[in-house]
Amino acid sequence: MTNLLEKSLITGFGIFILILFLILIAPFFQEIEEYKESEKDDLDDYSNFINKVNSAINYFINNPEEEYIEKIEYPENINVTFTENYAIFDFLIDGKVYSKTLKYDDQFIHKSYCDIPPKTYELIITLNSSLLYVNFRNLD
């Protein structure tokens, strides 16, 4: 009988310790979830920005007689370089640098945009001596 009593006390104590452990780590689950959501939001911002710039360049390549002007939200921690036939986007997520390179048939005037503050800019694409010129003009 005492053997059964000892086993039930040990089992009860184990369950009690398990419940205390789960109560202590429960707030961290919410922080992990919030962290993943913020990382996903940053990635979505970068993807939207890259897609808008890409579609603007492709539109201008198909319609070179028009000057392209559009308001665009420039996200935080992204550097953009236009060189030769490439548009290179370097961005920072959680301390790691990621890069996306897009290739085009037309050539660019070499231009780099580094450490630009995140806000709304005018994306302007023009043709200059048969080279594409991409500019982010400040609206202030």
Span 80-135, pLDDT tens digits: 999 989 999 998 887 888 899 999 988 999 999 988 888 899 999 988 888 899 99
What's the total number of domains in the chain?
A: 1
Q: Which two tokens stand for residue 27?
A: 């707030």
Residue 38 has pLDDT above 80, yes or no: no
- Report how far apart, in Å, the C-alpha atoms of 12 and of each of 4, 18, 52, 58 are: 12, 10, 59, 67
Decide: pTM greater than 0.85. Answer: no
- Please tell me the distance from the alpha carbon of residue 99 to that of residue 89, in angstroms, as a whole number: 6
* pLDDT at residue 2, rounded to an integer: 67
User: For residue 14, what are the domain limits?
Assistant: 2-138
Helix ranges restricted to H, the chain: 2-62
